[in-house]
Chains A and B, each alone.
Chain A
Amino acid sequence: MSFINKTGWSMAMLFAVSLGFSGLMQTTEVQAAADAADDATAKAKSKSTADHSKFKELDVNFKSGPEVTKACIGCHTEAAKQLHTTKHWKWDYINPDTNQHLGKNNVINNFCTSVPSNYKFCTACHIGYGWEDDKFDFTAEEKVDCVVCHDTTGKYKKLPGLAGHPNYETIEWPPHSGKFRPPTDLKTIAQNVGKTSRATCGACHFRGGGGDAVKHGDLDTSLTNPKKHLDVHMDAEGLNFSCSKCHTADAHEVAGSRYQPTAKEDKGRLIPGSLDERNTATCVACHDNAPHKGSLSKMNEHTDKLACQVCHIPAYARGNQFTKMTWDWSTGGKVDEQGQPIKIKGSDGKVKYDSKKGDFTHDRYVVPEYQWFNGEVKWTLVDDTFDPDQILKINSFTGSADDGKSRVWPTKVFRGKQMYDKVNNKLVVTSLSDDPDSALWKNFDHKKAVEYGMKYVGKEFSGEVGFIETEMSWPITHMVAPKDDAVDCHQCHKENGRLAGIDGLYIPGANNTPLMDKLGLAIAFLTLIGVLFHGALRYIMHKRGG
């Protein structure tokens, strides 16, 4: 193990064990999906032109992940170089429209807040090996982790605290569970590589925010092997889309972005093979802008203003997993009578209080919040100042009814209360996990943790920690329901319907114009008078024998 020496390994083991923390398991294994993954694997393998188990280069008892990678790039000579240019590798991105310096390594969120100073923990979801501090070598080809995306066995697992490595020795996992995970069988995994799958992408993306269903709301392990009602495209017994069906890859750069999403696509369907470099991960790319036929064609009049997802995703977290809705860091640090940290579960069985992290709430089958969105997201970064008396938007979706670029989108708005610099009114980087002395999850000292985190990234810190209420928006775009389960007309076309409060929309049944209302009443009243008058006249004429 050239990249982790014995001491480092022992420390990593100790760290992982000392965490005592199963909620934040970001793993590449999705046990519940193993069978489905196996099935998918079998199908995928049957179409492959190469059986990797027959390659002598892979018939090796690999001791580490990088050894596997060296074998991979022995044939796939350009793969690592391609990966080196991607967001998945760099966790760094400059938005060309806003010039904001983004990427996972730069933004602050209201979940676990920040990556720097917590690399060993966070990089369990990096497609590399050994990113344990700010000195990681981004040019090393052997540090690219090929199998995390291409594993088909479901047995490859990167554990938090190991800086992106799987375990090479027996490890107790989850910590203090009494269960022991044997060393990763790298040879078997390397000999069974294949196409990416919902299970491999989901290993990180279903567990964003530190656990199953936590972050996105529309991505969780229920999508590993979903039924049609949960997602009409990923239906394991139907269309069975893998993530890459929409999120196509070009030289390993995967289409679709949370930093620069496509909110409105006016150009219509994307023809396969076309040189158009538009985002393939949109509804319009396949379904066009007027997808409703026959008696439903009236629905096409909605597509100019409403994202398809507004109607076709009636709720998120529909797969029986609870998604996290709020996180209050300010209440962390409580201990029991013995001075030990505590965890309290709620009625839903989810942890609702953890000394390390504070209070949470969860929910399932959540009706989205709707907002105009033109694809531009403005982030509040560590150098930005703000008004602490207002709720801080970690990311703001820009857009309006009249800019011609926006549509109304369903979103999950995650609400938090998190650490900030009370004097400078700025967000902060917080040491949570790696550093034994300052890490918040070890000593519950917010000031010490922030001091270390800010020093780590070379930023000024006043020394005073406050807690600011924050909101973070996530576009909802997965868990597409079958058309029969789309949002009914009356859910919007009524008073206080789903889209109540969205400016710039006229929704018959929901909106009213006072003048029009008075005019309608007047017409109805006059009609009644007319009928009565006519009836009276006929009655009188009849009496007179006319």
Chain B
Amino acid sequence: MLKAVVGFIAGVIFVGVVGFNMADTMMLREVESPYGVEETAARIQRNIQGLSDNGWALSGLRNPAKAVANAGVNVPPVLLIEACSTKYSAPMLKDDDSRILSILMPCTITVYKKDDGKTYIGLMNSGLMGKMFGVGDIMAKVQEDQYKFVQFDDSKPAPPLIRQRAGGGGAGGGQSDDGC
């Protein structure tokens, strides 16, 4: 009996340690982009606009690196693309129990450069987050769309980066790229 209890506790600790160490990669996803920071961001913006049938609209573009640089620190470029879908946000905002999840809105995708000189895209694992907070069905669809945001069609020319508020979709923010 003692052996079984010790074994169970050891198993729990093991799973806990593994889970803790993997949490960052489970919650967040990082993919390399074949383009520069601006072009990657612009292509993601175009993909978001292409999913307007699902209620998606751009709600902002932020440049936190610029604010940091203005404070006198060297940081590689970072652009945050903000988008929101009324189709997915409406049910969550409507319900008292899930309204607190507005803290995760708008949906943010980050594009940044690392010290290896390459450009990366950072996404939240919306599906997992949704399961954790009881809105798994909705967030699974969000995740599905998110993956489409980062599928690039190389045959299409690079679009201009949309720096001003796109309007619609309305998750607030929506400033120009001059800082947080």
Contacts and interface: CB of A to CB of B under 8 A. Distances in A.
Q: Do A and B bind?
A: yes
Contacts of A366: 117
Nearest to B63: A320
Interface stretch (B66-74, B97-105, B164-172): B66-74
B139 interface: no
Contact of A320 (B69, B113, B158): B69
A228 interface: yes
Given A229-B69, A320-B69, A364-B77, A347 B160 contact: yes
A509 to B, nearest CB: 15
A352 B39 CA distance: 12
A314 B117 CA distance: 10
Contacts of A229: 69, 72-74
12 contacts: A229-B73, A229-B74, A314-B74, A314-B115, A345-B160, A347-B41, A349-B160, A349-B161, A362-B36, A487-B115, A491-B115, A498-B116
Contacts of A439: none
B38 interface: yes
A345 B41 CA distance: 15
B76 A347 contact: no
Given A347-B42, A348-B36, A348-B38, A485 B158 contact: no
Contacts of A491: 115
Contacts of B157: 344
- In order of increasing CB-CB distance, the 5 nearest A-B pairs are A367-B117, A347-B42, A348-B38, A347-B39, A485-B74
A241 interface: no
Interface of B: 36, 38-39, 41-43, 66, 69, 72-74, 76-77, 113, 115-117, 157-161
Interface of A: 227-230, 314-315, 318, 320, 344-349, 352, 361-367, 481, 485, 487-488, 491, 496, 498
In terms of DSSP, what is the predominant structure of the interface of chain A? loop
Given A229-B69, A367-B115, A367-B117, A318 B74 contact: yes
Contacts of A228: 72
In terms of DSSP, what is the predominant structure of the interface of chain B? loop
Given A229-B69, A365-B113, A367-B115, A347 B159 contact: yes
A365 B72 contact: no
A348 B39 contact: yes
Nearest to A227: B72
Contacts of A363: 36
A52 to B, nearest CB: 36
A318 B113 CA distance: 12
Contact of A348 (B43, B74, B113, B161): B161
* Interface-central residue, B39, B43, B117, B159, by most chain A CB under 10 Å: B117
B74 A352 contact: no
Nearest to B160: A347
A367 B74 CA distance: 13
Nearest to A350: B38
Contacts of B115: 314, 367, 487-488, 491, 498
Nearest to B45: A347
A347 B39 CA distance: 5
A442 B43 CA distance: 34
Given A347-B38, A365-B76, A352 B158 contact: yes
Contact of B158 (A315, A347, A365): A347
Contact of B73 (A315, A348, A485, A487): A485
A488 B114 CA distance: 13
Given A347-B42, A363-B36, A481 B74 contact: yes
